Structure 1
Amino acid sequence: MTDDVLLVHGGTPISGEIRVRGAKNLVPKAMVAALLGSAPSRLRNVPDIRDVRVVRGLLQLHGVTVHSGEEPGELVMDPSRVERANVTDIDAHAGSSRIPILLCGPLLHRLGHAFIPGLGGCDIGGRPVDFHFDVLRKFGATIDKREDGQYLTAPQRLRGCKIRLPYPSVGSTEQVLLTAVLAEGVTELSNAAVEPEIEDLICVLQKMGAIISVDTDRTIRVTGVDRLNGYTHRALPDRLEAASWASAALATGGSVYVRGASQREMMTFLNTFRKVGGEFEVDEDGIRFWHPGGPLKAIALETDVHPGFQTDWQQPLVVALTQASGLSIVHETVYESRLGFTSALNQMGGHIQLYRECLGGTPCRFGQRNFLHSAVVSGPTKLEAADLVIPDLRGGFSYLIAALAAQGTSRVHGIDLINRGYENFEEKLVSLGARVERPSAS
């Protein structure tokens, strides 16, 4: 098949301007939150990505009316006629996203039951869904596991509870928030994720009438209410996409102005970008990233939950580190299999060695569990074109960056996976002067 392949003619710096819209890690969750309301919600700055289309389809299957608003990137969602969806129709969405599990709490509140099929998502390490079901049981849900998926019921109103996360998981925190807001009583969540996208979801829920407080020790308290309204909200910009384009500019020796990028949510990335040798300039409309010339610098890097260096920033930046002088050390502490993408970079001429040991000081869950979760990147190395098969969303964009930086023409397979989180990425590449094309069918 050639319809899922992109030819990338590398060796040319990218240069120009692109725009990022709302964050992939917020927008679909805010769409799910609309299910909780008794009136229509209006969400702005929505990107046209696959995860948004998946959730839109799921909402419509459950009787929510969804249509475009007055401005580009605006969705209006009316949940006044929520209904039970056909199991077969829901199952058609299985494997395309993990977001359906977040519909559980809202559907239990609205209908008293929910069905969740098998779940998909990127294969970058353990993302166990069992914890989501454990949380829902604590709220009072009953779960019946069958061959085609999980059937959930709530015979009575869900009740608030105390939950401590073993790790500050974003997905688990979202599950608790979306369930707790209409549960009876108070829910206390400790060791919660506090990413900017979580804060923005809390803002959405507060606009709807929720009562949520966030303490400095990662504790979130939610006082359940009887009813929520709709909301009007403009999603925060996608800091992960913005950083991906920044890394692309650095790896190719180019310059990219990312309109819509916000400094506040990217401060940790910006510090690291500067340490490597990249330059950036912030104005009121966005951030310009560029390679100033001269050698890049090797660094020691550890991923961590917010406010640390985000794991989704790691893969694109590693491509740029192949062009830095010296030995860079990368310690991945969030997803145990996220460094697997580096084998393709070595195939292209990179020098990256993986280790099972923790090459860093950040407490890590993987040190004694035999996962290759640390890397030493030796550079600079000249990258050569190759046939590449995309493993996951961020790894896929990293392969695009590597292909852009490499000499020759690379064939990148599985390219449509990138549509999950990068809006119109092919058009953006072309606007930046990248030479990319779909192969002819002959």
Structure 2
Amino acid sequence: MDSIIVTGGAELSGRIPIAGAKNACLALMPATLLSDEPLTLMNAPRLSDIKTMTLLLQSLGVEVTAMQDGRVLTLSSHALTSHRADYDIVRKMRASNLVLGPLLARAGHAVVSLPGGCAIGARPMDIHIAGLEALGAEIELRDGYLHAMAPGGLRGAVIEQRFASVGATENVVMAATLAKGTTVLKNAAREPEIVDLVQCLRQMGARIAGEGTDTIEIEGVDRLGGATHRVVADRIELGTYMIAPAIAGGEVELIGGRRELLPSFCEKLETAGVTVTQTNDGLRVARANGRVHAVDVKTEVYPGFPTDLQAQMMALMCTAEGVSVLEETIFENRFMHAPELMRMGARIDVHGGHATVTGVERLRGAPVMATDLRASVSLILAGLGAEGETQVNRVYHLDRGYERVEEKLSACGARIERVRGE
């Protein structure tokens, strides 16, 4: 297996381009199932998760053409050959469940394996199922597969989610675009990825209002057409690289970044003593002299602090002045990076969903093991500010969500390289 070697102590200076959002693209790709006309996605990230979704869609009969080195994807679902999403593909990635709603809406039936992904908590499908059942679907779990039918077609309904799930919001919104009548989805997720999906669906002919708020209204139409859509910038990649100069020192401009993608995160960084400035091209981030200050963090649904940046923020807090408390409210089992950071000299005490971090003056490089996608990059970030060499093993997680990490950081002066495994 590949590993990443980081030698700490180098300040960063330069520009880093932010790729299209993985989580947005993974919802946009299944939207092709709603139409028999082509959907073209520009600014697609080149990641293993995108390849996995491509394989899944191709297994259903979707034609996928990649251009411009994979940054432009054209998908056509004019001739679906299957309505079954098999375990062998679905187990690799949680977002595979996003084919369920579109398949139900377009074909009236679907068989989808329960999904996999990072081992950061159960993330059950019950909110997805409840929303689709409210639209008239009949769903049964048999042998690890969701068998879904809509014999009379989907019908609009008023749905209130018990939790503002991003995936369930995406599934229900896509399904409702072809349902008969009007659907009102309450306690909907408000993330930029939801807004991006709705904007694409609207280009395809969907009638949707309220994206970016907690209530989305969808008026069903008879059919959707094709569209060309540019994927929004990846706010999690953006936040990750904002932390890099905060840990290592220096100043970096993140091309394509926008403050409104990460309002709470930007506020926390500034409270910690990091300068965040909007430029014509993106966001400029710099660390003031000395160590950052400890800040408390509580993960919340958007526009709150993102759970997908909790591990990276913990890495920053490991060398902050003072004591910080990080509270994880979205997923269980999401402090698995803490023991690895402790191998580097961090002082972390985990109790359930809380982690208390007492900052040390400097971390020390050590061999560490990545346990999930965001943990992978948090260990790389920690290595940037550590004394000596850090070897991050099992970085196959990293390639699911970050494109060319070592190239982007080394272009700004980081001493980082990938060592290919046998």
* TM-score, shorter chain, exceeding 0.5: yes
- What TM-score bracket applies, with the shorter chain setting the length? over 0.9
Q: Which runs of 5+ in 1 are unaligned?
A: 356-371
Give how far 1:397 is off.
0.7
Q: Does 1:237 align with 2:228?
A: no
Partner of 1:426: 406
| Counterpart contact for 2:36–2:79, Cα < 8 Å | no
Pick the aligned partner of 2:29 from 31, 35, 44: 31
Partner of 1:143: 139
- Within 2, Cα distance between the matches of 1:394 and 1:218? 27
Q: Does 1:380 align with 2:360?
A: yes
Q: Does 1:105 align with 2:85?
A: no
| Counterpart contact for 1:161–1:186, Cα < 8 Å | yes
Partner of 1:152: 148
**Deviation string, structure 1 residues 71-126 (Cα, Å, up to 9, x no partner):** 96111112211221676xx3331321112211012112333322212411122223
- Within 1, Cα distance between the matches of 2:19 and 2:362? 33
Equivalent positions of 1:244-255 (< 5 A) are 244-255=240-251
Letter in 2 for 1:21: A
| Counterpart contact for 1:279–1:290, Cα < 8 Å | yes
Evaluate the alpha carbon distance shift between residue 64 and residue 215 of structure 1 in structure 2; reply closer, same or farther with a 3 A threshold. Answer: closer
For residue 188 of structure 2, give the secondary structure of its aligned residue in structure 1.
coil
Give how far 1:160 is off.
1.7
Partner of 1:9: 7
| Counterpart contact for 1:295–1:324, Cα < 8 Å | yes
**Deviation string, structure 1 residues 251-297 (Cα, Å, up to 9, x no partner):** 11132221111222123222211111111332121112122222311
Q: Does 1:334 align with 2:330?
A: yes
Pick the aligned partner of 1:173 from 142, 145, 169: 169
Q: Does 1:114 align with 2:94?
A: no
Q: Does 1:74 align with 2:90?
A: no
Evaluate the alpha carbon distance shift between residue 424 and residue 327 of structure 1 in structure 2; reply closer, same or farther with a 3 A threshold. Answer: same
Letter in 2 for 1:183: A
- Within 2, Cα distance between the matches of 1:68 and 1:295? 44
TM-score by length of 2: 0.94
Letter in 2 for 1:397: V
Letter in 1 for 2:370: I
**Deviation string, structure 1 residues 112-143 (Cα, Å, up to 9, x no partner):** 32221241112222310133223222222233
Evaluate the alpha carbon distance shift between residue 148 and residue 376 of structure 1 in structure 2; reply closer, same or farther with a 3 A threshold. Answer: closer
Pick the aligned partner of 1:185 from 178, 181, 190: 181
Letter in 1 for 2:176: A
| Counterpart contact for 1:83–1:111, Cα < 8 Å | no
Pick the aligned partner of 2:201 from 205, 212, 216: 205
Give how far 1:217 is off.
6.4
**Deviation string, structure 1 residues 377-429 (Cα, Å, up to 9, x no partner):** 21233211222111111111101111222222222121011111111222223
Give how far 1:33 is off.
0.8
Partner of 1:366: none
Give how far 1:224 is off.
0.9
Partner of 2:295: 299
* Identity in percent: 37
Q: Which runs of 5+ in 2 are unaligned?
A: none
- Within 1, Cα distance between the matches of 2:276 and 2:225? 41
Evaluate the alpha carbon distance shift between residue 144 and residue 126 of structure 1 in structure 2; reply closer, same or farther with a 3 A threshold. Answer: closer
- Within 1, Cα distance between the matches of 2:84 and 2:161? 33
| Counterpart contact for 1:256–1:288, Cα < 8 Å | yes
**Deviation string, structure 1 residues 327-374 (Cα, Å, up to 9, x no partner):** 12222222232223212212211112223xxxxxxxxxxxxxxxx112
Give how far 1:5 is off.
2.1
Partner of 2:317: 321
Partner of 1:19: 17
TM-score by length of 1: 0.90
Give how far 1:70 is off.
6.2
Give how far 1:215 is off.
7.7
- Within 1, Cα distance between the matches of 2:201 and 2:15? 33
Partner of 2:59: 61
Letter in 2 for 1:394: R
- Within 2, Cα distance between the matches of 1:441 and 1:339? 27
| Counterpart contact for 1:351–1:381, Cα < 8 Å | no
Pick the aligned partner of 1:349 from 327, 341, 345: 345
